[in-house]
Chains A and B, each alone.
Chain A
Protein backbone atom coordinates (compact mmCIF):
# COMPACT_ATOMS: atom_id res chain seq x y z
CA UNK A 1 0.00 0.00 0.00
CA UNK A 2 1.42 3.32 -1.11
CA UNK A 3 0.66 5.77 1.69
CA UNK A 4 1.61 8.83 -0.36
CA UNK A 5 0.23 8.95 -3.88
CA UNK A 6 2.11 11.25 -6.22
CA UNK A 7 0.79 12.28 -9.64
CA UNK A 8 1.44 12.46 -12.46
CA UNK A 9 4.23 9.90 -12.58
CA UNK A 10 5.65 11.28 -15.82
CA UNK A 11 5.24 14.70 -17.42
CA UNK A 12 6.74 16.08 -20.63
CA UNK A 13 5.97 19.71 -21.45
CA UNK A 14 7.24 22.60 -23.54
CA UNK A 15 9.21 25.48 -22.13
CA UNK A 16 6.91 28.20 -20.84
CA UNK A 17 4.02 25.94 -19.84
CA UNK A 18 2.64 25.69 -16.31
CA UNK A 19 2.28 22.43 -14.40
CA UNK A 20 1.11 21.05 -11.07
CA UNK A 21 2.31 17.96 -9.22
CA UNK A 22 0.16 16.44 -6.49
CA UNK A 23 0.88 14.39 -3.38
CA UNK A 24 -2.17 12.86 -1.73
CA UNK A 25 -2.71 10.65 1.27
CA UNK A 26 -5.43 9.50 3.64
CA UNK A 27 -2.96 9.97 6.50
CA UNK A 28 -2.09 13.17 8.33
CA UNK A 29 1.52 14.31 8.16
CA UNK A 30 3.30 16.48 10.70
CA UNK A 31 5.32 17.99 7.87
CA UNK A 32 5.92 17.44 4.20
CA UNK A 33 9.11 17.93 2.25
CA UNK A 34 9.63 18.43 -1.49
CA UNK A 35 12.87 17.42 -3.19
CA UNK A 36 14.21 17.66 -6.75
CA UNK A 37 16.72 15.16 -8.05
CA UNK A 38 18.69 15.66 -11.25
CA UNK A 39 20.37 12.79 -13.10
CA UNK A 40 23.59 11.67 -11.43
CA UNK A 41 22.90 13.64 -8.26
CA UNK A 42 21.20 13.13 -4.92
CA UNK A 43 17.84 14.71 -4.04
CA UNK A 44 18.00 18.36 -3.04
CA UNK A 45 15.48 19.79 -0.59
CA UNK A 46 13.25 22.49 -2.11
CA UNK A 47 10.91 23.26 0.78
CA UNK A 48 9.33 21.96 3.97
CA UNK A 49 5.70 22.76 4.76
CA UNK A 50 4.44 22.30 8.28
CA UNK A 51 1.20 24.20 8.86
CA UNK A 52 -2.14 23.20 7.30
CA UNK A 53 -3.02 25.63 4.52
CA UNK A 54 0.54 26.90 4.28
CA UNK A 55 1.73 28.31 0.96
CA UNK A 56 5.42 28.80 0.19
CA UNK A 57 6.94 30.33 -2.91
CA UNK A 58 10.39 29.66 -4.30
CA UNK A 59 10.81 31.84 -7.41
CA UNK A 60 8.52 30.18 -10.01
CA UNK A 61 7.62 27.28 -7.70
CA UNK A 62 4.60 27.46 -5.39
CA UNK A 63 4.08 24.82 -2.71
CA UNK A 64 0.84 24.31 -0.82
CA UNK A 65 0.03 22.10 2.17
CA UNK A 66 -3.59 21.05 2.49
CA UNK A 67 -5.68 22.34 5.36
CA UNK A 68 -5.93 18.84 6.83
CA UNK A 69 -2.19 18.18 6.27
CA UNK A 70 -3.00 15.12 4.14
CA UNK A 71 -2.03 16.48 0.74
CA UNK A 72 0.30 18.91 -0.96
CA UNK A 73 0.87 20.39 -4.39
CA UNK A 74 3.77 21.89 -6.31
CA UNK A 75 2.95 24.37 -9.07
CA UNK A 76 5.61 25.52 -11.51
CA UNK A 77 4.94 28.64 -13.57
CA UNK A 78 6.58 29.11 -16.98
CA UNK A 79 8.66 25.94 -16.78
CA UNK A 80 12.22 26.04 -18.04
CA UNK A 81 14.54 23.22 -19.22
CA UNK A 82 16.48 23.65 -15.97
CA UNK A 83 13.39 22.46 -14.08
CA UNK A 84 13.83 18.99 -15.60
CA UNK A 85 14.28 16.31 -12.95
CA UNK A 86 12.60 13.90 -10.57
CA UNK A 87 10.35 15.64 -8.06
CA UNK A 88 9.78 13.76 -4.81
CA UNK A 89 7.47 14.50 -1.92
CA UNK A 90 8.09 12.98 1.50
CA UNK A 91 5.76 13.20 4.48
CA UNK A 92 6.72 12.75 8.13
CA UNK A 93 4.15 10.90 10.23
CA UNK A 94 4.00 9.08 13.52
CA UNK A 95 4.14 5.28 13.53
CA UNK A 96 3.77 4.08 17.11
CA UNK A 97 6.41 5.85 19.17
CA UNK A 98 8.51 6.70 16.14
CA UNK A 99 8.19 9.12 13.26
CA UNK A 100 8.63 7.77 9.74
CA UNK A 101 9.32 9.57 6.50
CA UNK A 102 7.02 8.30 3.76
CA UNK A 103 8.14 8.93 0.19
CA UNK A 104 5.94 9.43 -2.84
CA UNK A 105 6.87 7.51 -6.00
CA UNK A 106 8.09 10.67 -7.72
CA UNK A 107 7.19 12.73 -10.77
CA UNK A 108 9.67 12.64 -13.63
CA UNK A 109 9.46 16.02 -15.37
CA UNK A 110 10.97 16.81 -18.77
CA UNK A 111 10.81 20.41 -19.99
CA UNK A 112 11.63 20.63 -23.68
CA UNK A 113 13.15 23.79 -25.18
Chain B
Protein backbone atom coordinates (compact mmCIF):
# COMPACT_ATOMS: atom_id res chain seq x y z
CA UNK B 1 0.00 0.00 0.00
CA UNK B 2 1.25 3.44 -0.89
CA UNK B 3 1.94 5.92 1.91
CA UNK B 4 0.64 8.77 -0.21
CA UNK B 5 -3.14 8.63 -0.52
CA UNK B 6 -4.97 10.25 -3.40
CA UNK B 7 -8.71 10.70 -3.80
CA UNK B 8 -10.72 10.12 -5.82
CA UNK B 9 -9.17 7.27 -7.80
CA UNK B 10 -11.30 8.07 -10.84
CA UNK B 11 -13.04 11.29 -11.85
CA UNK B 12 -15.18 12.07 -14.87
CA UNK B 13 -16.18 15.68 -15.32
CA UNK B 14 -17.59 18.03 -17.91
CA UNK B 15 -15.71 21.04 -19.17
CA UNK B 16 -17.83 23.43 -17.09
CA UNK B 17 -17.51 21.55 -13.80
CA UNK B 18 -15.41 22.45 -10.77
CA UNK B 19 -13.80 19.62 -8.87
CA UNK B 20 -10.82 19.04 -6.59
CA UNK B 21 -8.20 16.31 -6.30
CA UNK B 22 -6.85 15.54 -2.85
CA UNK B 23 -3.55 14.14 -1.63
CA UNK B 24 -2.47 13.23 1.89
CA UNK B 25 0.78 11.96 3.41
CA UNK B 26 1.77 11.35 7.02
CA UNK B 27 5.47 10.65 6.55
CA UNK B 28 6.48 14.13 7.74
CA UNK B 29 7.66 15.05 4.26
CA UNK B 30 7.89 18.80 3.65
CA UNK B 31 8.00 18.75 -0.16
CA UNK B 32 4.92 17.82 -2.17
CA UNK B 33 4.42 17.63 -5.90
CA UNK B 34 1.68 17.44 -8.53
CA UNK B 35 2.41 15.63 -11.79
CA UNK B 36 0.38 14.94 -14.92
CA UNK B 37 1.01 11.66 -16.73
CA UNK B 38 -0.23 10.46 -20.10
CA UNK B 39 -0.26 6.75 -20.96
CA UNK B 40 3.20 5.13 -21.30
CA UNK B 41 4.88 8.54 -20.80
CA UNK B 42 6.94 9.88 -17.88
CA UNK B 43 5.31 12.15 -15.30
CA UNK B 44 5.31 15.86 -16.17
CA UNK B 45 5.89 18.17 -13.23
CA UNK B 46 3.15 20.72 -12.62
CA UNK B 47 3.64 22.23 -9.17
CA UNK B 48 6.02 21.90 -6.23
CA UNK B 49 5.33 22.94 -2.66
CA UNK B 50 8.20 23.24 -0.22
CA UNK B 51 7.36 23.81 3.45
CA UNK B 52 3.76 24.60 2.44
CA UNK B 53 4.77 27.35 0.03
CA UNK B 54 4.50 27.12 -3.74
CA UNK B 55 8.06 27.00 -5.01
CA UNK B 56 7.64 25.86 -8.60
CA UNK B 57 4.84 26.36 -11.14
CA UNK B 58 5.83 24.82 -14.46
CA UNK B 59 3.77 27.28 -16.51
CA UNK B 60 0.58 25.38 -15.79
CA UNK B 61 -2.68 26.91 -17.13
CA UNK B 62 -4.72 28.79 -14.54
CA UNK B 63 -7.57 26.27 -14.84
CA UNK B 64 -5.40 24.18 -12.48
CA UNK B 65 -5.07 25.77 -9.02
CA UNK B 66 -2.98 24.09 -6.30
CA UNK B 67 -3.44 24.52 -2.58
CA UNK B 68 -1.46 23.27 0.41
CA UNK B 69 -3.62 23.71 3.54
CA UNK B 70 -1.00 22.11 5.81
CA UNK B 71 2.11 19.99 5.66
CA UNK B 72 0.16 16.76 5.16
CA UNK B 73 -2.37 17.85 2.57
CA UNK B 74 -2.19 18.95 -1.04
CA UNK B 75 -5.16 19.82 -3.23
CA UNK B 76 -5.53 20.50 -6.92
CA UNK B 77 -8.61 22.53 -7.84
CA UNK B 78 -9.92 22.04 -11.36
CA UNK B 79 -12.14 24.42 -13.32
CA UNK B 80 -13.11 24.65 -16.99
CA UNK B 81 -10.79 21.84 -18.07
CA UNK B 82 -10.28 20.80 -21.68
CA UNK B 83 -10.43 17.26 -23.14
CA UNK B 84 -6.64 17.26 -23.50
CA UNK B 85 -6.39 17.55 -19.72
CA UNK B 86 -7.56 13.95 -19.44
CA UNK B 87 -4.67 12.08 -17.79
CA UNK B 88 -3.43 10.42 -14.62
CA UNK B 89 -2.69 13.05 -11.97
CA UNK B 90 -0.04 11.95 -9.53
CA UNK B 91 0.85 13.40 -6.16
CA UNK B 92 4.26 12.78 -4.63
CA UNK B 93 6.16 13.78 -1.51
CA UNK B 94 9.78 13.79 -0.41
CA UNK B 95 11.88 14.65 2.62
CA UNK B 96 13.46 18.02 3.17
CA UNK B 97 13.36 20.86 0.71
CA UNK B 98 11.94 20.23 -2.75
CA UNK B 99 15.17 21.61 -4.16
CA UNK B 100 17.04 18.60 -2.83
CA UNK B 101 15.01 16.26 -5.03
CA UNK B 102 15.17 13.45 -2.57
CA UNK B 103 13.53 10.24 -3.80
CA UNK B 104 9.84 10.77 -4.22
CA UNK B 105 6.98 8.70 -2.84
CA UNK B 106 4.07 8.64 -5.25
CA UNK B 107 0.39 8.03 -4.72
CA UNK B 108 -1.52 5.82 -7.13
CA UNK B 109 -3.01 8.83 -8.86
CA UNK B 110 -6.41 10.10 -9.92
CA UNK B 111 -7.51 9.00 -13.38
CA UNK B 112 -9.25 12.10 -14.78
CA UNK B 113 -11.48 12.07 -17.85
CA UNK B 114 -12.89 15.28 -19.31
CA UNK B 115 -16.01 14.91 -21.40
Q: Are B99 and A43 in contact (CB-based, < 8 A)?
A: no
- Does B59 interact with chain A (Cβ within 8 Å)? no
Q: Are A33 and B40 in contact (CB-based, < 8 A)?
A: no
Against B, the Cβ 8 Å flags (1 = close, 0 = not) of A7-25 are: 0000000000000000000
Q: Are B107 and A42 in contact (CB-based, < 8 A)?
A: yes
A-B contact count (CB 8 A): 47
| A-side interface residues, number (CB < 8 Å) | 23
> Smallest CB-CB separation from A98: which chain B residue?
B99
Q: Are B99 and A105 in contact (CB-based, < 8 A)?
A: no
Q: Are A92 and B105 in contact (CB-based, < 8 A)?
A: no
CA A50 – CA B43 in complex, angstroms? 22
Q: Are A45 and B42 in contact (CB-based, < 8 A)?
A: no
> Smallest CB-CB separation from B106: which chain A residue?
A42
A56 contacts across to B, CB distance below 8 A: none
